[in-house]
Structure 1
Amino acid sequence: MVEDDAHICELVSLYTTKAKLALITAADGEAGLAAYYDEEPDLVLLDIMLPERSGWELCREMRKDNPLLPILMLTGRGEAEDIVRGLETGADDYVVKPFDPNELMARIQALLRRAHPFSTGNLLSSGRLQVDMQNRELTAAGEKLLFPPRELELLAFFMQCSGQTLTREQLLDAVWGRDFDGDPRTVDVHVKRIRRRLDTVESGVQLVTVRQAGYRLEEII
């Protein structure tokens, strides 16, 4: 994370630690670029207005070095032209300050998921569910379940963001992709199907509807 505001770094660090993600911070553009080459991060959070070198410059150089690197701009510049410039420069997503930390984490998880959808040894657990992302296998209390691919991907994303309320738009972006132009209510249909499947096993979780907000996966105590 390249950010010169220590308070924002501390806030993001609290949430990334909770999500079991390691956060490396740099307070200016030069230090951020050096950390990028030294650490080879899985994802970069970039402010735009930075000492030494701007976020625009860093984004261009990082994107040139690694075309697949997930880059999220986190900045106070919220004008439409700034957002367009950020995305055209190479950012995958753009979040304007002040921001909701839960939404930021959902966006981070979505970017990581798209960059490393089924990385080796990547196991997700929630309640009595476990997903083997490498082999695309789902078990509940040790019992193997057969889910259609899209439902498995959607459930896996809920498990990655367990306890967080996810909007329909966030779910579409993460699972169907940013270019999806179908009916957004397809999310609701898939959630209903997942619920029906989970009701037949000892999953230890439930998909909760959060009124006028979205859905949340909760563990059943």
Structure 2
Amino acid sequence: MANILIVDDDVNVLTFLTIHLSEQGYTVYQAKEGIEALKILNKEVCDLAVVDVMMPFMDGYTLTEKIRSQFNIPIILLTAKSQIEDKEHGFRAGTDDYLVKPFEPKELSFRIKALLRRYDHKTDESILRIGSTMINKQSYEVTIGNRTILLPLKEFELLYFLMSKPMQVFTRDHLIEHIWGLDYEGDERTVDVHIKRLRERFSKLTDDFQIKTVRGVGYSLEAKRQ
């Protein structure tokens, strides 16, 4: 099931929605204000955000704009107002949907499911995610939280291949054939060198994954258990 971020300064609303959504199988993250919400989004992979408009320090419109500029996830705004100006403000900020308080929790569930289906259809198979790490084969970028890393071509292709098949063990010959091609004239040490470089680059940046050496066989990428 999907991971849902709920942002509301009302503890009662947070508790009520968390119970309701958890019962449906969603994993729910809670934030009482915008800064806390952005910290969660930079650490955890969330599939949708439910954001209250009226919050201290950073209102829901501003938070929506910030989420939209950094993350490709659907957003539902919650508000106590139903004026057309407020709805216009919300959609200009980048929200996907709008729900006026008080509302039936079932209605929120329907809207969440509809948005997740819509965004799932948009999901690009060239994008892989493990934890807060995302790798995009179209742009050849690796993103960890709000940090973007550009890798040399073969390092990128090797990392992408391993991330696309986590927990599977690949021999050096298999990796050479897939990444460098059948006509490659180098030796197995090429794989070892590229694996070493990837480990050096990412070991200090994230613990979302590790590239393990399987002695006598080859390599495997292991994702961190959530």
> With structure 1 as the length reference, what TM-score do the two structures score?
0.51
Are 1:50 and 2:47 an aligned pair?
no
The aligned runs of 1:104-183 (5 Å cut-off) are 104-117=108-121
* Aligned mates of 1:97, 1:18 — CA distance in 2: 21
Residue 24 of structure 2: which of 12, 16, 19 is its match?
Answer: 19
Whole-Å Cα distance in 1 between the matches of residues 45 and 67 of structure 2? Answer: 10
Deviation at 1:23, TM superposition (A): 0.7
User: Identity of aligned pairs, percent?
Assistant: 34
Go from structure 1 to structure 2 and tell me whether the alpha carbon gap of 1:118 and 1:29 turns closer, same or farther (over 3 Å shift): closer
**How far apart, CA to CA, are the structure 2 residues paired with 1:64 and 1:81?**
22
For residue 134 of structure 1, what is the aligned residue in structure 2?
none
Alpha-carbon distance in 2 for matches of 1:114, 1:15: 22
Aligned residues: 119
Distance 1:118 1:93, change over 3 A: closer
Gaps of 5+ in 2: 1-5, 126-226
Aligned to 2:80: 76
CA distance in 2, matches of 1:56, 1:18: 29
Instruction: Look at both structures and tell me which one has the larger radius of gyration over its CA atoms.
Output: 2
Matched, 1:95 2:99: yes
1:36-85 Cα shifts (integer Å, max 9, x gaps): 2221310011011112211111111111112x310000121221100111
2:133 is aligned to: none
**SS of structure 2 residue aligned to 1:15:** helix
Look up the SS of the partner of 1:56 in the other structure.
helix
Post-superposition CA distance 1:183-215 (Å, at most 9, x none): xxxxxxxxxxxxxxxxxxxxxxxxxxxxxxxxx
SS of residue in 1 equivalent to 2:115: helix
User: C-alpha separation between the residues in 1 aligned to 2:76 and 2:52?
Assistant: 9
Structure-2 separation of matches of 1:117 and 1:7: 34
Counterpart AA for 1:22: T
1:44 maps to amino acid: A
**Aligned partner letter, 1:113:** R
Of 4, 7, 19 in structure 2, the residue corresponding to residue 2 of structure 1 is: 7
Q: Are residue 32 (structure 1) and residue 37 (structure 2) matched?
A: yes
- Cα root mean square deviation, aligned: 1.7
